[in-house]
């Protein structure tokens, strides 16, 4: 069958010189290769007109906004010391250059800060992503955004995507779970908020970012690595059955409950039509009907792992109540009062939204409507479930306060469509009110029952709620890590006896206990108390005796250790006590990298740029050093924030190790603008363009040459196979050192 199809395709290609179904670009000018998508969907319009989610008289305006390209929005990284400097550069240079320009007949308006985002750290323009990439007039602005994004100083993120992390109200001590984290823009926000106090390099809290797609986990790693945090761990699991983790406290294992959970579930995405135009032709109500069950299971699993008093934000980029209010209503009904919707109306002043709705209907893709479960024929029961309808009891419906949900409509503030709800856990879930019989020998399993308030110290599901939302039947004994809707143990509590766990090692989970997909990860091996690799490092860098060396890890069991990473004390606890139940993709921030030149000075490891801001006070006489610039408040033309660069002091020279993706950023900080043409070649004097400088031109040219000089050394991040180049840059011995 496959061979016949290939032959037919070849024959068609022979007839007209191109593959069947492909259009010749010459037929419709440059850029044509695919038929233009018509931004119309009658079923979509009929559905949302009937549901009345848009205020009366605004539907045409709503549809017009949906057909317009989504404007570009950027967010300045909040916890970086360079944030104010980046904001100053944007406001005083780039925003002024782009305003009042005209591109393809469209006048460029001055960028404006998002009124509801704190401290003017998020901005939007009327520029679409396509215009920003293609227009020669905006090339410098686009290159600025690209280079600063690669450096982790700017995130190009859709405006409505920034809302959920803000509503979580994160504090540095919070334990946070991001259930469906890829591609990672919201995760980056969570990390920033965790590090809100820059004087505390190792906050007590941490972020565990999960995604079911193994390949997308590496995109998530890339986003997180830009922020150089020791408090982030990326894991790869199905969110609807993500395993329950343990922590060791006072010599006993307790169940890990999270203070904050972000539950941004997979959805039909009809709120993204402005940027994902494929949705116009693919949209149908069956998408929401298929996703409702998965969304509910993920949300249930989230609230199970939420601590009492904790806060979970449920969000989708869908406008459909089947994926939105219906999931929240099902969750509230299952909780029997353990959950409540929080009133977040005052949390983001300036944000325009519509309150959640309390009445909706269900429509099939053929256009047939049902107002109640009782109307659904038996033949439809596999596609339409009772939890898709609003509660029929008026008192129960009123007590849910679904109007506290928030639906963002595109035409109100020129954004995408979005839905968000904030849930607060008042008590353990009703099926979580008994201790399970844990198999772990270290945990006392003699007590089979405990009061509800004790569960948060070590309980897990004991009664499983039915998938269709009906009343729970007889109690079912549950085990750690079970899927609520299925009641089957998926992650045993103890490793296979044949898999003897080594001390201080967190490796991939045993294959007998969990199906693994994707790449096989290198192990996470923590240094031991008497590890011979650390004393030379401690002596060379004059580290204090209480330096947390047990939090330092490598990614190899044997051979020379090329890189040393560090995690926070709490993440070390998580890693060591859960290696048999979770697949860790990446964690830790690089602290030291092997440099054989250092052996002559007594230490074979140099500092990595990722931790320059944490360890800047170290100043050995020779070898690895930190170069620190301190701002002069009197010189307003100079950078007004500290700049730290890790480097190397030899006998006659100093070299700064500048990561490849950060060179343009540091040049910009000292007043030099370096741009590249379409072929990627630099423009300076004859081959490079330098702008925006008020300093001596010769001095700046010298600085540019120093920072741009190509080097030979290559860094790696995460796994030993993932690379991130760091360039050594030579300088004379009179540079500042700390």
Q: What is the pLDDT of residues 104-114, one digit of tens each?
A: 777 788 889 99
Looking at residue 286, the DSSP 8-state letter turns out to be H
Query: E strand or H helix at 576, and its extent?
Result: helix 569-577
- Confirm whether residue 184 is marked as ligand binding: yes
d(CA 621, CA 604): 15
Q: Which residue has the higher pLDDT, 427 or 469?
A: 427
> Rounded to the nearest 5 degrees, what angle is found at the Cα of 28, between the Cα atoms of 27 and 31?
120
CA distances from 146 to 139, 226, 250, 435 (A): 10, 13, 47, 52
Q: Largest Cα–Cα distance of the chain, in whole Å?
A: 85
- Confirm whether residue 696 is marked as ligand binding: no
d(CA 730, CA 732): 7
- Confirm whether residue 180 is marked as ligand binding: yes
d(CA 401, CA 337): 12
Q: How many CB atoms lie within 10 A of CB 517?
A: 10
Question: Which whole number is the average pLDDT over 630-655?
Answer: 81
CA distances from 737 to 488, 617, 618, 642, 654 (A): 60, 9, 9, 13, 10
Task: Give Cα 92 distance to the centre of its chain.
Answer: 30
Take residue 575 and report the two structure tokens written for it: 């890693």
Question: Which whole number is the average pLDDT over 523-544?
Answer: 87
- Mapping DSSP onto H, E and C, the string for 329-359 reads HHHHHHHCCCEEECCCCCCCCCCCCEECCCC
The per-residue pLDDT for range 660-695, each reduced to its tens digit, is 778 888 887 777 777 765 555 555 433 444 443 333
Q: Is the bond leading into 290 cis (omega within 30 degrees of zero)?
A: no
Q: Which pLDDT does position 623 carry in this prediction?
A: 75
pLDDT above 70: percentage of residues in the chain: 72
3-state helix, strand, coil split of the chain in percent (to 5) is 30, 20, 50
Among the residue ranges 139-148, 413-422, 427-436, 451-460, the one predicted with the least confidence is 451-460
User: What is this structure's pTM?
Assistant: 0.78
Q: Which pLDDT does position 619 carry in this prediction?
A: 52
d(CA 217, CA 222): 9
Take residue 543 and report the two structure tokens written for it: 């580290």
Question: Which whole number is the average pLDDT over 519-539?
Answer: 85
- pLDDT of residue 495 exceeding 60, the answer is no
**Which of 121-125, 520-524, 655-659 holds the top average pLDDT?**
121-125
Q: Where are the alpha helices (DSSP H) in 407-553?
A: 410-413, 452-455, 534-540
- pLDDT of residue 400 exceeding 60, the answer is yes
pLDDT above 90: percentage of residues in the chain: 43
Question: Looking at 217, 231, 263, 317, which residue is catalytic?
Answer: 317
- pLDDT of residue 714 exceeding 70, the answer is no
Take residue 259 and report the two structure tokens written for it: 């203070």
- What does R_g of the chain's alpha carbons equal in angstroms? 28
- Mapping DSSP onto H, E and C, the string for 165-179 reads HHHHCCCCCCEEEEC
The per-residue pLDDT for range 600-640, each reduced to its tens digit, is 677 888 888 776 555 544 555 677 788 888 888 888 778 88
- pLDDT of residue 480 exceeding 50, the answer is no
d(CA 720, CA 594): 13
- Confirm whether residue 264 is marked as ligand binding: yes
Q: For the residues of 404-428, what is the DSSP string, one character each?
A: GSEEE-HHHHT---EEEEEEEE-S-
Q: Which residue has the higher pLDDT, 701 or 98?
A: 98
- pLDDT of residue 336 exceeding 90, the answer is yes
The strand pair at 206-210 and 175-178 is best described as parallel
Q: Which pLDDT does position 678 carry in this prediction?
A: 52
pLDDT band at 45 (very low <50, low <70, confident <90, very high): very high
Q: Which residue has the higher pLDDT, 415 or 449?
A: 415
Nearest to 522 by CA among 238, 714, 718, 715: 718
Task: Give Cα 304 distance to the centre of its chain.
Answer: 22
Looking at residue 408, the DSSP 8-state letter turns out to be E
Task: Give Cα 628 distance to the centre of its chain.
Answer: 30
pLDDT band at 490 (very low <50, low <70, confident <90, very high): very low
Question: Which whole number is the average pLDDT over 26-51?
Answer: 71
- pLDDT of residue 177 exceeding 50, the answer is yes
Query: E strand or H helix at 185, and its extent?
Result: helix 185-194
- pLDDT of residue 55 exceeding 80, the answer is yes
Average model confidence (pLDDT) across the chain: 77
pLDDT band at 30 (very low <50, low <70, confident <90, very high): very low
Task: Give Cα 479 distance to the centre of its chain.
Answer: 30
pLDDT band at 130 (very low <50, low <70, confident <90, very high): confident
d(CA 624, CA 602): 11
**Which of 146-150, 417-421, 465-469, 543-547 holds the top average pLDDT?**
417-421
Question: Which whole number is the average pLDDT over 65-69?
Answer: 93
Among the residue ranges 51-60, 116-125, 508-517, 640-649, the one predicted with the least confidence is 508-517
The strand pair at 306-316 and 258-264 is best described as parallel
**Which of 54-68, 84-98, 424-438, 539-553 holds the top average pLDDT?**
54-68
- Confirm whether residue 559 is marked as ligand binding: no
d(CA 297, CA 485): 7
Q: Which pLDDT does position 505 carry in this prediction?
A: 56
Q: Catalytic annotation on 646?
A: no
Residues 6+ apart with CB under 8 A from 725: 659, 660, 714, 715
The per-residue pLDDT for range 540-583, each reduced to its tens digit, is 888 888 888 899 999 887 778 888 999 999 999 999 999 888 99
d(CA 465, CA 487): 9
Residues 6+ apart with CB under 8 A from 303: 261, 312, 331, 335, 338, 339, 423, 425, 429
The per-residue pLDDT for range 288-297, each reduced to its tens digit, is 999 999 999 9
Q: Where are the alpha helices (DSSP H) in 420-516?
A: 452-455
Q: Which pLDDT does position 613 carry in this prediction?
A: 53
CA distances from 384 to 269, 296, 396 (A): 20, 14, 22
Take residue 148 and report the two structure tokens written for it: 């600063």
- Confirm whether residue 186 is marked as ligand binding: yes
Q: At what angle do helices 214-225 and 185-194 cross, to 10 degrees?
A: 40
CA distances from 429 to 456, 476, 608, 721 (A): 10, 14, 45, 43
Take residue 6 and report the two structure tokens written for it: 């290939």
- Confirm whether residue 398 is marked as ligand binding: no
d(CA 64, CA 39): 10
């Amino acid at each position: 069958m496959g061979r016949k199809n290939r032959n037919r395709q070849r024959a068609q290609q022979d007839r007209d010189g191109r593959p069947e179904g492909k259009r010749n670009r010459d037929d419709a000018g440059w850029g044509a290769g695919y038929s233009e998508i018509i931004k119309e969907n009658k079923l979509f319009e009929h559905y949302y007109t009937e549901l009345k989610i848009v205020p009366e008289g605004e539907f045409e305006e709503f549809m017009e906004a949906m057909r317009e390209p989504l404007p570009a929005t950027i967010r300045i990284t909040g916890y970086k010391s360079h944030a104010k400097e980046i904001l100053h550069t944007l406001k005083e240079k780039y925003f002024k250059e782009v305003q009042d320009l005209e591109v393809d007949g469209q006048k460029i308006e001055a960028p404006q800060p998002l009124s509801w985002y704190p401290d003017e750290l998020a901005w939007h323009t009327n520029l679409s992503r396509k215009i920003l990439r293609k227009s020669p007039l905006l090339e410098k602005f686009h290159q600025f955004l690209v280079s600063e994004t690669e450096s982790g100083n700017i995130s190009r993120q859709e405006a409505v995507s920034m809302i959920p992390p803000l509503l979580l109200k994160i504090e540095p001590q919070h334990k946070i779970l991001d259930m469906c984290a890829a591609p990672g823009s919201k995760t980056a926000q969570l990390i920033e908020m965790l590090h809100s106090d820059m004087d505390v390099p190792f906050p007590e809290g941490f972020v565990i970012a999960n995604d079911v797609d193994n390949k997308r986990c590496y995109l998530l790693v890339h986003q997180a690595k830009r922020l150089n945090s020791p408090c982030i761990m990326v894991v790869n699991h199905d969110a609807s059955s993500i395993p329950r983790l343990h922590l060791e406290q006072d010599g006993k294992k307790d169940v890990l409950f999270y203070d904050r959970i972000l539950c941004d579930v997979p959805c039909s995405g009809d709120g993204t039509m402005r940027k994902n135009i494929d949705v116009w032709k693919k949209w149908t109500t069956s998408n929401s009907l298929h996703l409702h069950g998965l969304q509910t299971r993920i949300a249930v699993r989230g609230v199970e792992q939420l601590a009492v008093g904790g806060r979970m934000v449920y969000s989708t980029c869908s406008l459909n109540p089947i994926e939105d209010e219906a999931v929240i209503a099902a969750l509230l009904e299952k909780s029997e009062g353990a959950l409540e919707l929080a009133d977040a109306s005052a949390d983001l002043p300036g944000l325009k939204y519509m309150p959640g709705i309390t009445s909706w209907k269900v429509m099939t893709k053929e256009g047939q409507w049902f107002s109640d479960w009782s109307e659904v024929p038996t033949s439809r029961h596999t596609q339409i479930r009772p939890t898709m309808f609003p509660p029929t009891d008026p008192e129960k419906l009123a007590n849910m306060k679904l109007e506290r949900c928030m639906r963002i409509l595109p035409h109100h503030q020129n954004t995408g469509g979005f839905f968000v709800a904030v849930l607060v856990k008042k008590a353990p879930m009703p099926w979580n009110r008994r201790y399970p019989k844990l198999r772990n020998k270290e945990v006392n399993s003699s007590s089979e029952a405990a009061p509800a308030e004790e569960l948060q110290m070590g309980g897990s599901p004991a009664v499983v709620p039915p998938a269709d939302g009906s009343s729970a039947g007889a109690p079912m004994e549950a085990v750690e890590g079970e899927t609520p809707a299925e009641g089957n143990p998926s992650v045993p509590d103890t490793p296979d006896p044949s898999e003897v766990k080594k001390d201080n090692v967190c490796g991939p989970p045993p294959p007998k206990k969990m199906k693994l997909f994707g790449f096989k990860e290198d192990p996470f091996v923590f240094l031991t108390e008497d590890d011979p690799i650390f004393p030379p490092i401690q002596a060379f860098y004059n580290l204090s005796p209480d330096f947390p060396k047990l939090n330092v890890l490598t990614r190899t069991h044997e051979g020379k250790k090329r890189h040393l990473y560090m995690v926070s004390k709490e993440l070390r606890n998580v890693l060591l006590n859960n290696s048999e139940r979770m697949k860790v993709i990446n964690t830790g921030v690089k602290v030291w990298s092997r440099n054989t030149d250092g052996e002559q000075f007594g230490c074979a490891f140099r500092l990595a740029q990722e931790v320059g801001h944490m360890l800047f006070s170290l100043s050995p006489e020779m070898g690895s050093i930190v170069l620190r610039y301190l701002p002069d408040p009197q010189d307003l033309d100079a950078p007004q924030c500290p700049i730290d660069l890790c480097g190397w002091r030899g006998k006659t020279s100093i070299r700064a190790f500048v990561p490849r993706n950060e060179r343009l950023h540091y040049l910009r900080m000292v007043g030099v603008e370096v741009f590249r043409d379409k072929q990627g070649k630099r423009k300076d004097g004859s081959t490079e363009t330098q702008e925006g400088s008020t300093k001596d031109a010769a001095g700046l040219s010298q600085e540019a040459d120093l920072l741009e000089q190509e080097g030979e050394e290559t860094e790696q991040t995460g796994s030993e196979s993932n690379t991130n180049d760091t360039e050594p840059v030579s300088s004379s011995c009179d540079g500042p050192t700390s």
